[in-house]
């Protein structure tokens, strides 16, 4: 395959992945919102803190914090969807194997980024229940993103 064709295939897969990432982010939002309500806890500020550190953004007030948090959450999920697309295009993986690979990449990155930005302590300090809940939410994201990506790919012109 020539370079132009390869780039076209990867760009198309990344675009479908971003659309699928929106679906995955919606699923993760439902999952984490339900869990937070059941446990009586507020929403996590770690994604917003990490994004703020990386981008050098400091919202001025509570309303700005909420908006930035929402933007960071949806932007992060959409961007990681592109990675799901590249996994599929580069390896030919689909279904559960591709979703598992995507989960490992996304959750692994979180385990590096959050502590390195000071947004959260390393996972070994969270406790088993918190690690399991976090992994569950990311698995919901990866499964929903993967399912949406596979549907979009099946519907794509050949």
Q: What is the pTM of this model?
A: 0.94
- Report residue 7 as tokens: 């780039």
- 68 and 45 Cβ atoms separated by less than 8 Å: no
How confident is the model over 3-42, as pLDDT tens digits? Answer: 999 999 999 999 999 999 999 999 999 999 999 999 999 8
Q: Is the pLDDT of residue 158 over 80?
A: no
Q: What is the pLDDT of residue 7?
A: 93
User: Whole-angstrom Cα distance, residue 45 to residue 83?
Assistant: 24
pLDDT at residue 45, as a whole number: 84
Q: Where are the domains of the chain?
A: 8-155
- pLDDT tens profile 82-130: 999 999 999 999 999 999 999 999 999 999 999 999 999 999 999 999 9
Paired tokens of 33: 């919102």
What local confidence, expressed as pLDDT, does residue 82 receive?
Answer: 98
């Amino acid at each position: 395959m020539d370079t132009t064709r390869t780039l076209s295939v990867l760009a198309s897969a990344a675009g479908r992945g971003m659309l699928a990432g929106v679906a995955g982010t919606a699923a993760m939002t439902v999952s984490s919102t339900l869990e937070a309500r059941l446990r009586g806890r507020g929403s996590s500020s770690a994604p917003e803190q990490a994004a703020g550190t990386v981008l050098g953004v400091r919202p001025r007030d509570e309303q700005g914090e909420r908006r930035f948090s929402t933007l960071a959450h949806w932007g992060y999920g959409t961007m990681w969807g592109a990675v799901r697309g590249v996994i599929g295009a580069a390896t030919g993986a689909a279904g559960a194997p591709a979703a598992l690979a995507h989960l490992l990449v996304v959750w692994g990155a979180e385990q590096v980024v959050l502590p390195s930005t000071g947004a959260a302590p390393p996972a070994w300090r969270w406790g088993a229940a918190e690690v399991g809940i976090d992994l569950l939410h990311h698995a919901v994201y990866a499964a929903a993103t993967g399912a949406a990506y596979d549907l979009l790919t099946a519907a794509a012109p050949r």
